[in-house]
Amino acid sequence: MNDEIEASTYKKWFGKYSEEKAHFERELKRLKHNNQDRWTRLKKLLPKLTDLPKLYEKLNIRQKHFLLNRVFNQPLIHTAGSSLQSIIIR
């Protein structure tokens, strides 16, 4: 009980924490590396978002669904005579 731990306990926990440390270091390196790439892609895509009707026409059905869920806070309801094109332009 003089502030020492047994060798087997040390080996067990040292291995576990060394593995976790390596994982976190890899993750930090990955996050630092990818940020510039993400900003470059974002700068390239932002101007395209200014023309939503044109963008909407180019998307596949899953992409359209994703866009609508992100843009509108509440569910959209289709009424007779209305079109999605007119909803986006408003």
Task: Report which residue type is found at 83.
Answer: S
| Structural domain for 72, as ranges | 51-90
- Number of structural domains (the chain) is 2
Residue 71 and residue 42 share a domain: no
One-character DSSP codes across 37-51: HHHHHHHHHGGGGG-
Residue 61 and residue 35 share a domain: no
Residue written as token pair 């009424």: 79
Residue 44 and residue 7 share a domain: yes
Q: How far apart are CA 35 and CA 41, in angstroms?
A: 10
Residue 2 and residue 33 share a domain: yes
What confidence tens digit (pLDDT) does each residue in 16-63 have? 899 999 999 999 888 777 677 778 888 998 888 888 888 889 999 999
- What is the pLDDT at residue 40? 87
Tokens of 81: 């005579």
Task: Give the pLDDT band of residue 71 (cuts 50, 70, 90).
Answer: confident
13 has pLDDT over 90? no
Residue 29 and residue 6 share a domain: yes
Residue 43 and residue 4 share a domain: yes
Residue 85 and residue 56 share a domain: yes
For 74, which DSSP code?
S
Residue 56 and residue 31 share a domain: no
Characterise 3 by phi-psi region: left (phi > 0), alpha (psi -120 to 50), beta (else): left
46 phi and psi, to 5 degrees?
Answer: -55, -45
